[in-house]
């Protein structure tokens, strides 16, 4: 009999392993085992179980602002019986990274990561408006990320400071003004890492047509430049976080950087960015329960100077997370791109 997600409780070692992978998604299992003070075989066995059951997934992703992707946050309003099919259709698109069902089940939120302006505009101006039962679309360009991507969400905070320091990599080089242009081999490499961030160098070499040593050097170079980062995806409920919500905040331009930095320092925040539109900042909060979310809003958000109106939009269902589909609380591979 297949175990359900509720049956697959994560113990302290599982949680420590997840945080170790959050710090460095491609850290050698032997290194992780040394830091966690267990055997290599134990770490490998635990990782394989967590991955095979869809509880976690390490993925390698391009940093949009560094490689010139056109990133937008979309709010798609739908007829009540159409929201889930629209969300599932969006989740199947390779240029959509995150999809959630929100606001009473009539609104879909998603993050686009288009390679060109034309690709982005085709989705916004042609494909979505022609979709049956879509009643409204608002698109908000991501102007500046304050938290998210390579940043580590504090909800996995179980390791000691010395263990964290032993796993941390040197910071990436400062980003130049011009974006880094990925070549065909690097795009092929990222296609593999987007499905399995711990794919071995032989697999990366086969996908790119490069020698293994060249594939290794190319990936390391991308990491040093900050063009690629490794994300560990999991459903927050596995760590005891049951309440997720999108926050849309109205902040005066003169206060935007200050408020964004304040939110980035809150352990409840998994993502925060300045966006275009009437409200200038959006964030994703992850809390233990609705009572904790209320406390966060009243005591922490309420204490941040410069925050005006706050819209709280509960997330009812996560359909896609960092490129991974979510089915019955488990992460699964998306279908291959056409």
Q: What tens-digit pLDDT sequence spans the chain (338 residues)? A: 333 344 456 789 999 999 999 999 999 999 999 999 999 999 999 999 999 998 999 999 999 889 989 999 999 999 888 899 999 988 988 889 899 999 878 999 999 988 888 888 787 767 777 777 888 889 999 999 999 988 878 777 889 999 999 999 988 777 777 889 999 999 999 999 999 999 999 999 999 999 999 999 999 999 999 999 999 988 888 778 999 999 999 999 999 999 999 999 999 999 999 999 989 999 999 999 999 999 999 999 999 999 999 999 999 999 998 877 888 777 887 766 54
Own/partner pairs for 118-124, CB < 8 Å, 24+ apart? Answer: 119/70, 119/95, 120/70, 120/72, 123/93, 123/95, 124/72, 124/74
The answer to whether 35 touches 166, Cβ cutoff 8 Å, is yes
Contacts of residue 313, defined as CB under 8 A and 6 or more positions apart, other chains included, come to: 102, 103, 107, 109, 245, 246, 247, 248
Look at residues 45, 55, 63, 131 and name the one whose alpha carbon lies nearest to residue 93. 131
Q: How far apart are CA 282 and CA 110, in angstroms?
A: 13
Q: How far apart are CA 78 and CA 250, in angstroms?
A: 24
Residue identified by tokens 């086969």 is 206
For residue 186 the two structure tokens come to 């690097």
The answer to whether 320 touches 326, Cβ cutoff 8 Å, is yes
Give CA separation, 288 vs 140, 294, 330, in Å: 28, 11, 19
Per-residue pLDDT of 214-243, as tens digits, reads: 999 999 999 999 999 999 988 888 778 999
Phi–psi pair at 9, nearest 5 degrees: -70, 140
Q: How far apart are CA 269 and CA 250, in angstroms?
A: 17
Q: Taking the model in full, what pTM does it have?
A: 0.87
């Amino acid at each position: 009999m297949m175990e359900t997600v509720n049956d697959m409780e994560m113990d302290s070692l599982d949680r420590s392993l997840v945080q170790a992978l959050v710090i460095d998604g491609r850290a050698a299992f032997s290194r992780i085992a040394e830091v966690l003070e267990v055997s290599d075989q134990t770490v490998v066995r635990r990782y394989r179980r967590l991955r095979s059951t869809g509880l976690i997934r390490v993925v390698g992703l391009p940093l949009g602002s560094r490689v010139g992707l056109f990133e937008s946050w979309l709010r798609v309003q739908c007829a009540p019986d159409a929201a889930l099919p629209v969300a599932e259709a969006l989740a199947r698109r390779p240029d959509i990274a995150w999809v959630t069902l929100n606001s009473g089940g009539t609104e879909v939120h998603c993050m686009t990561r288009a390679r060109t302006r034309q690709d982005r505009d085709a989705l916004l101006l042609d494909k979505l408006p022609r979709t049956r039962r879509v009643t409204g679309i608002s698109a908000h360009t991501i102007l500046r990320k304050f938290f998210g991507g390579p940043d580590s969400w504090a909800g996995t905070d179980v390791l000691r400071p010395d263990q964290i320091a032993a796993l941390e990599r040197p910071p990436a080089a400062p980003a130049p003004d011009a974006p880094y242009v990925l070549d065909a081999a690097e795009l092929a490499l990222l296609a593999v890492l987007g499905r399995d961030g711990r794919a071995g160098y032989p697999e990366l070499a086969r996908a790119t047509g490069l020698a293994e040593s060249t594939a290794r050097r190319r990936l390391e170079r991308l990491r040093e430049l900050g063009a690629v980062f490794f994300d560990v995806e999991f459903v927050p409920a596995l760590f005891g976080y049951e309440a997720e919500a999108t926050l849309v905040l109205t902040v005066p331009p003169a206060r935007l950087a200050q408020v964004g930095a304040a939110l980035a320092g809150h352990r409840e925040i998994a993502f925060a960015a300045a966006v275009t539109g009437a409200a200038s900042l959006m964030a994703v909060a992850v809390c233990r329960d609705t009572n904790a979310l209320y406390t966060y809003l009243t005591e922490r958000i309420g204490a941040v100077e410069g925050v005006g109106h706050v819209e709280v939009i509960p997330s009812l269902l996560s359909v896609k997370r960092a490129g991974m589909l979510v089915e019955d609380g488990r992460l699964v591979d998306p279908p291959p791109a056409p």
